[in-house]
Chains A and B, each alone.
Chain A
Amino acid sequence: MSTLNLNTYAKNTWCIGCGNFAILNAIRLVITELIKEGTPAENFVLVSGIGCHAKIVDYINLNSFYSLHGRVIPVATAIKIADPSLKVIGFSGDGDSYGEGLEHLLFAAKRNIDITMIIHNNRVYGLTTGQFTPTSPSGYKGRSTPYGNKEKPFNPLELMLASNASFVARGFSHGIDLLKKIFKEAILHKGFSLIDVLQVCVTFYNMYEYYDKRVYVMENHNETDFDQAMKKAKEWDYNSDTKIPLGIFYRKKEITFEDSFQTGIISETIDRKQKIYEHLMKKNL
């Protein structure tokens, strides 16, 4: 990376007022800061799934892997294991990581792989035109649930805390200051980090007014206290009309998955044939 130009020539096709812009602007600023502070630009790898959120990798001039729906995490996991010096940031939607790829999300938290997952949680399928997602409220009417969603949403923060995630936060796509702060902390956190961003889909589920009335940034919250984090996470269940806390809920230090792989001695210069021969000889009497 010779000059710092994070824009690409790709035409942005998000709707005017889309919450994704806040995420894009915030992450661009955070990455610019981190590059200025010493992280080489080529050490960032962005991974996205499929959905409106995923276009973000086309809009940022950095290494990227535009993956499949629900499959951000296994790709990001392997990239991090391949080279732990990389900063791997995953972008995913609620349909993507809470629906199609939920199993991967639980395992990423369980393993504490050092990647950052930013969930663009608009609580609706935008790109496929308005169906309900795992975090849509009960009664939500979409094209696949014209008479109202019969399921209750699950609470991703509670789920992540229960799965051993070592960094759990919630942001909101109205304004970028809080997002910037959380993103930077999450990227610098050594371990798995999840940021559930209440990202508004202006076309299919415009919640700006609803959220504006209810969100508040947590103060005097002890981020290292698991019980307190759980209590805060349960304050809003994604279904009822209560207050919605924002900020970093929880963080802890723990050994990361990529560090559990030993580095051995084989390199390109070692004669693999000879080494295999030696291995085979051990099998013989």
Chain B
Amino acid sequence: MKDFTILIGGKAGDGIDRASVIIGQILSHLGYYVYIHRDYPSLIRGGHTFSIIRASENKVSAHRDEIDILIALNLETLNLHRKNLKEKCFYIYDAEQIKFEDQVCGIGIPINSILKEENAPDLMRNSCLIGAFCKTSGIEWEIVEKTLGMTIPKHLELNLKIAKRGFDTSRQLLKIEKINREPLPLLTGNEAIGLGLIMAGLDAYAGYPMTPSSGLLHFLASVAPEFNLKVIHAENEISVIMMALGFAYAGKKAAVGTSGGGFCLMNEGLSLSGMAELPVVIVLGQRTGPSTGLPTYTGQTELFYAIHAGHGEFSRLVVAPGDCEQAFYWSALALALAWKYQIPAIILSDKTLAESLYSFDFEKASKVNLPKIIMWENGDSYKRYLNTKNGISPLSFVPKYSAVIKVNSYEHDEYGITTEEPETTKLMQEKRLRKSQFLLDEIEKNYECVKIYGNVESEIAVLCWGSNVPVCIESATRLGLKVIQPVIIHPFPLRQLEYAMIGVKELVLVECNATGQMAELIKHHRFTVKTKILKYNGRPFSVNDLEQLLQVVIDEYIKP
């Protein structure tokens, strides 16, 4: 098997998530590229939770529906996913939950009995199944031991014992071959964003828990000592963004993370960032809205919101990375550009990108040229808002001998003192907006803001952004189509889109929302989307899903 899918399911609280990560790490160790999609409801115990682990000899960052190996902790898992089982599917299941007699393809493990005999808590059920999975798949015990040793912080001995019982109770049904390739680390999109920010010099992070961005807060809090970060879990999102602006004033590069509801609370601070020209990076993890919506499921409904949030008119940057490497690369760049232009930068993520696990290619992701901050060199009396040609005023930070540094939410003069003079108001508004044009020129000149993939000759092109990009690339490439991904959403890289559109006669939009926001956005630039493939039930597209839908488009197109 060179490209296969494992589904592991049970009820929330069974440790499905951790088990899937460990299996992913084992497969990664065997040389496979891994992608893990997680599906879990918004509750702590009960309900159906599952993870889809895809392993391939090629880089994959999207899931497929057909299941090669099913690991079921309860009957519900088998029933719910039965329709997706391949004809030759292997089963590893809890024999005390599921009565199932297939000696050729199935291994039932009496998990509760084993736990009871070893006097182990219920939590360790997943260790038992990991052991069973490895034996079934012909994976050596040493690898299980090593992986558990690295990933299990508590009660390792007992976990190993339980895993070994699972291992010994099973027998080999198939062989997952080792691939001769250096393993890549597995990262969530949140972790990749965090590391990208660190690469660009992150000093501080403030957050308030909200799915799907809580993982970023957890990750940065855990690595705070390692990277000397100041990480604060604040009282609410208003405080979160205001703290970030306080950090920026003192010269500390800060980021914040949230989802739609929290971002609503941040909007006043976002507007202040624009007015006071204090850089901030906002990681906006989208989920299914509106309002509380489906907190643990995905969506791409905040494209317009990210571009238009906040009162007043000011420059900003909005980027929408599509996978783990892009998340790292563009997060680093977003932070550096935010600081060069002294503007807010929004990293548009979503539940799929934020919480899925990807094999992360650091070499590729870290090849990024970061622009430099424009600093004030001692001279005449310091003007925080010096009106320059490109609108960028040289920065200085407190405490600075001989400089009085004043920032202001009111309209202000070059020194930062409040003004209501019409002439100054006009000049300062123009100064702030001018940065946007210089920013656009710089990014269009130096970076690939609109990426092109697949068959570049194709007259049909798939337009997509964010976490939908990998699934679109995989599906469209197989069908011989072109793929166009705007990574920079704002300011809009029109020249690069125009180039990407050369030769395209039919544009198909693939988006996880109900209205097709990207189609509306490019309509402003006179590009027309012919067909919209939209999904808004909280679940991401699978490769199979999308291939079928795109095939229909192709069939229509070639119809005489």
Contact = CB atoms under 8 A, between A and B. Distances in A.
B342 to A, nearest CB: 15
A253 interface: no
A77 B243 contact: yes
Interface stretch (A18-26, A91-99, A207-215, A257-265): A257-265
B226 interface: yes
A147 interface: no
A42 B249 contact: no
B225 A66 contact: no
Interface residues of B, number: 69
Contact of A64 (B147, B204, B224, B406): B406
Interface in B241-280: 242-247, 249-252, 254, 268-269, 272, 276
Contact of B404 (A61, A75, A103): A61
B201 A272 contact: yes
Interface stretch (B50-58, B110-118, B232-240, B544-552): B232-240
A124 B203 CA distance: 40
A75 B185 contact: no
Contacts of B398: 42-43, 45, 63, 79, 83, 86
Contacts of A272: 198-199, 201, 227
B404 A2 contact: no
A275 interface: yes
B499 interface: no
B359 to A, nearest CB: 11
Nearest to A257: B232
Interface in A199-255: none
B246 A82 contact: yes
Contacts of A275: 226-227
A68 B250 contact: no
Contacts of B418: 10, 55, 58, 66
B209 to A, nearest CB: 16
Contacts of B409: 50, 66-68
Contact of A67 (B244, B247, B272): B272
Interface string B126-162: 0000000000000000010011001000000000000
Interface string A262-284: 11111010001101110111011
Nearest to B200: A272
B25 A285 contact: yes
Interface residues of A, number: 57
Given A2-B402, A74-B246, A277-B362, A107 B417 contact: no
Contact of A82 (B183, B247, B269, B410): B247
A1 B235 CA distance: 36
Nearest to B25: A285
A280 B362 contact: yes
Interface string B388-426: 000000000011111111111110100011100000000
Contact of B199 (A50, A273, A283): A273
Contact of B235 (A9, A104, A276): A104
A79 B250 contact: yes
Nearest to A110: B235
Nearest to A10: B417
A132 to B, nearest CB: 23
A66 B362 contact: no
A81 interface: yes
Interface string B18-54: 0000000100110000000000000000000000000
Most chain A beta carbons < 10 A, residue from B204, B245, B402 = B245
Contacts of B251: 82
Contact of B242 (A10, A71, A85, A279): A71
Given A86-B398, A285-B29, A264 B225 contact: yes
Most chain A beta carbons < 10 A, residue from B203, B250, B276, B410 = B250
Nearest to A78: B246
Given A50-B409, A63-B404, A280-B360, A264 B204 contact: no
Nearest to A13: B418
A67 B143 CA distance: 56
A65 B246 contact: yes
A40 interface: yes
A42 B226 contact: no
Contact of A107 (B183, B235, B276, B404): B235
By Cβ-Cβ distance, the 10 closest A-B pairs, closest first, are A78-B246, A264-B228, A82-B250, A74-B242, A75-B246, A78-B243, A266-B228, A42-B399, A74-B239, A283-B185
19 contacts: A9-B417, A42-B403, A55-B418, A57-B406, A64-B405, A66-B412, A71-B242, A74-B242, A75-B243, A77-B246, A79-B246, A81-B232, A82-B204, A82-B247, A264-B224, A264-B228, A277-B362, A283-B187, A284-B185
Interface of A: 1-2, 8-10, 40, 42-43, 45, 47, 50, 55, 57-58, 61-68, 71, 73-79, 81-83, 85-86, 103-104, 106-107, 261-266, 268, 272-273, 275-277, 279-281, 283-285
Interface of B: 25, 28-29, 143, 146-147, 150, 183-187, 195, 198-199, 201, 203-204, 206, 223-230, 232, 234-236, 238-240, 242-247, 249-252, 254, 268-269, 272, 276, 360, 362, 366, 398-410, 412, 416-418
